[in-house]
Amino acid sequence: MRILTVRELTQHIKNIIDKDYLLANVWVKGEISNFKAASSGHFYFTLKDSASTLKVVMFRSKSRSLAFRPDNGMAVIVRGYVSVYERDGTYQFYAGEIQPDGTGALHLAFEQLKERLQSEGLFDQKYKKKLPLLPRRIGIVTSPTGAAVRDMVEIIRRRWSGLQIILVPVLVQGESAPPDIARGIQLLNRWGGVDVIITGRGGGSLEELWAFNTEIVARSIYNSDIPVISAVGHETDYTIADFVADARAATPSAAAEMAVPDKREMDRYIKALNSRLCSALNEKAAGYRQRLNACLAGRVFTRPVDVICGTRQQTLDFLCHRLKQGITSLAGREEKRLAILAGQLQALSPLATLARGYSICTTPDGKHVISEAGSVEIGEKLAVRLQKGILDCIVEGRSS
């Protein structure tokens, strides 16, 4: 009897599983749970159904190509192979491809990114910049070989022939397109010489338009200091770029019409404004002329002497008479008031008290009034003020 080591048994089982052609390339359907995205870029999760569970690992080389991000509770279909992880002695599923069960991967990725950017406020109307009425230069970020750029240039030239167009050629399809488009928008912002940016491409499938559904392009549009018009696809196509941009055009041709006014229509508009302005000025001048004629027809201008020497003189005499009356009346009232105040002052005057035989005793310098006998000494000099004159006295005695 042969006795195997744990390693030998595990390797034997692994060889059996690895040689099974069915397990070498198999699709498995289930629900994701215990999902973990490691810092290394590898994905670890469990695939389960109502009866069983299966450990799954997806290495970074495969996970970075996913258009969407797996999450717990998501129903998926996974393609890969089964093998044994020798260290733990367990079999697990090594995923090479993951597809959402019931909806396309790109559609799911679109909805996930749209929901996340919307929650961050990138679609809010308050962040939308106003397009300039008359741009001097227009920047176009698109493929230099597509029909879209030819249509836009043709329309811009036709609507306003002297306008400058700055073309930043970029890829609009493929894995390198998103960073290329983002760099084009950033380049125009660093230069700062354009007033509005148009970015986009002609129509196509969801896969062909996918560059404009990426986060790097969306954030480059949002962070642009220059207003951006998104012009991707046909009228029914909506991309993440459309939601983030300051304005969305249904087609590249519509974006050119949106960015540039028609010079002929502008000329007609200016002529109409000029006509309205002239009419308003003429109407205003006619009104002022009518008022001037009415003033000139008045007595002030037709018979100025009568106005000055006639009724105006009479009015002046009347006003002078009223002024004199008012002054006389006021002076009389103030004189009576003064007399009353003088009487009140006389009644309170100390001179009236002295006139009745009273006197005021003070120190010789008159600064202190003597009101008590005890406040002076025998032999002290005092001054006694009468109604008429002052007596210089010496104290010979005192009594309280």
- The domain 110-124+135-261 having CATH identifier 3.40.50.2300: the answer here is yes
CB 291 within 8 A of CB 190: no
How much of the chain, in percent, has pLDDT values that exceed 90? 38
């008022």: which residue's tokens? 291
pLDDT at 102: 66
Q: What is the pLDDT of residue 226?
A: 97
Q: Using one digit for the tens of pLDDT, what is the confidence trace for 27-55?
A: 988 888 889 999 988 999 998 887 888 99
Q: Which CATH number fits domain 6-102: 2.40.240.10, 3.50.50.60, 3.30.70.20, 2.40.50.140?
A: 2.40.50.140
Nearest to 92, CA basis, from 134, 59, 117, 50: 59
Contact between 55 and 92 (Cβ < 8 Å): yes
Cα Dmax for the chain = 161
pTM: 0.54
- Categorize the per-residue pLDDT at 63 as very low, low, confident or very high, splitting at 50, 70 and 90: confident
- The listed range with the strongest mean pLDDT (59-68, 163-172, 384-393) is 163-172
- pLDDT tens-digit series, residues 342-357: 878 877 777 777 777 7
> In this predicted model, which residue has the larger pLDDT, 105 or 70?
70
Angle between helices 177-191 and 215-222 in degrees, nearest 10? 10
Residue 24 near residue 49, CB atoms below 8 Å: no
State the pLDDT confidence band at 64, using cuts at 50, 70 and 90: confident
The continuous run of DSSP H or E covering 83 comes out as strand 75-85
Give the pLDDT band of residue 10 (cuts 50, 70, 90): confident
Task: Report residue 383: phi and psi, to 5°.
Answer: -120, 130
- The mean per-residue pLDDT over the stretch 349-372 comes to 79
* Burial of residue 148, with CB atoms counted within 10 A of its CB: 0-12 exposed, 13-18 middle, 19 or more buried: buried
List of residues 6+ apart from 195 with CB closer than 8 A: 132, 135, 136, 137, 138, 226, 227
pLDDT, one tens digit per residue, over 199-245 is 999 887 777 888 999 999 999 999 999 999 999 876 666 899 999 99
* Residue position matching structure tokens 């995923």: 95
pLDDT surpassing 90 at residue 101 = no
**What pLDDT, on the 0 to 100 scale, is given for residue 42?**
92
Judged by average pLDDT, the poorest of 53-57, 102-106, 126-130 is: 102-106
Burial letters for 179-188: b for 16+ Cβ neighbours within 10 Å, e otherwise?
Answer: bbbbebbeeb
The residue among 189, 200, 196, 261 whose CA lies nearest residue 230 is: 200
Does residue 398 contact residue 361 with C-beta atoms inside 8 Å?
A: no
Q: What mean pLDDT comes out for the span 280-297?
A: 87
The pLDDT of residue 106 is 73
Q: Rg of the chain over CA atoms, in angstroms?
A: 53
Spatial separation of the C-alpha atoms in residues 69 and 41, rounded to whole Å: 12
The pLDDT assigned to 308 comes to: 63
What string of DSSP letters covers 107-160? HHHHHHHHHHHHHHTTT-GGGPPPPPSS-SEEEEEE-SSSHHHHHHHHHHHHH-
In angstroms, the CA 262 to CA 362 distance is 108
Q: CA separation (Å) from 387 to 343, 354, 357, 365?
A: 19, 5, 8, 18
pLDDT of residue 307: 60
Average pLDDT estimate for 334-347:
84
CA distance readout (Å), 202 to 185, 220, 233, 241: 18, 20, 5, 14
Domain boundaries in the chain? 6-102, 110-124+135-261, 271-301, 354-394
Measure the CA–CA gap between 71 and 61, rounded to whole angstroms: 19
Pairing between strand 137-142 and 164-169?
parallel
Q: For position 52, what pLDDT does the model report?
A: 87
Strand order in the sheet with 137-142: 164-169, 137-142, 196-201, 228-232, 247-248
pLDDT at residue 247 in the model: 95
Model pLDDT, residue 381: 87
In the chain, where does DSSP find H-type helix?
6-18, 21-24, 60-63, 105-120, 147-159, 177-191, 215-222, 240-244, 252-259, 263-296, 299-302, 304-306, 312-348, 350-355
pLDDT digits (tens, 9 = 90+) for 173-192: 988 999 999 999 999 999 99
Average pLDDT of every residue of the chain: 87
